[in-house]
Chains A and B, each alone.
Chain A
Amino acid sequence: AQSVSQHNHHVILSEAASLELGCNYSYGGTVNLFWYVQYPGQHLQLLLKYFSGDPLVKGIKGFEAEFIKSKFSFNLRKPSVQWSDTAEYFCAAKTGANNLFFGTGTRLTVIP
């Protein structure tokens, strides 16, 4: 069965530190991958997605993610975090079906 794993449950960083959040999926076929962010009190919002083509995907607010097929990974990165990046981050995958499979989420706290 398809599944998505996020191994970091809570990450605490100082401003300007670099960020990498891990995401692994289990599915052998074609997969579309997404990172969603949920700021406190707000909706889930799409940060970026991988559909096909260049495995390095750039999203909003300076985030990027790299799809590494051989590692079944889609890690999220940002070179320098800001206090406003404090949020919960969800990795999700979509296979042939239309529904999204989510990871458990990673809470990011950025300390000013």
Chain B
Amino acid sequence: EPEVTQTPSHQVTQMGQEVILRCVPISNHLYFYWYRQILGQKVEFLVSFYNNEISEKSEIFDDQFSVERPDGSNFTLKIRSTKLEDSAMYFCASSETGQGGNEQFFGPGTRLTVL
């Protein structure tokens, strides 16, 4: 069964450094998403991406964040100048379409620890 994959599973970085989290969505999916979950809090939407551009983003997704689809398979989240409060689990998801009831398939997540 096709699945969303994410690398690395755990990333440790120093405050102020840049990190890139990588995702490989399911191959025939057209919509891609990033969510994050700070320990003990809700899973929060960050951004959605379709047709090589951002389709929606939350208030959390400020200039510190960017997304890219550098090739036909990868979908990346870049976090510049990381802060302690960026420590969280970051989930990538993908869906075939953006229609209401369409299922989003989630990856296993990348745990980001900012020291």
Contacts and interface: CB of A to CB of B under 8 A. Distances in A.
A94 B100 contact: yes
A90 interface: yes
Nearest to A104: B42
Interface of A: 30, 32, 34, 36, 42-46, 49-52, 90, 92, 94, 97-105
A104 B41 CA distance: 6
A46 B91 contact: no
Interface of B: 3-4, 31, 33, 35, 41-45, 48, 55-56, 58, 91, 98, 100-101, 103-109
Contacts of B103: 34, 46, 49
A102 B48 contact: no
A45 to B, nearest CB: 8
B43 A43 contact: no
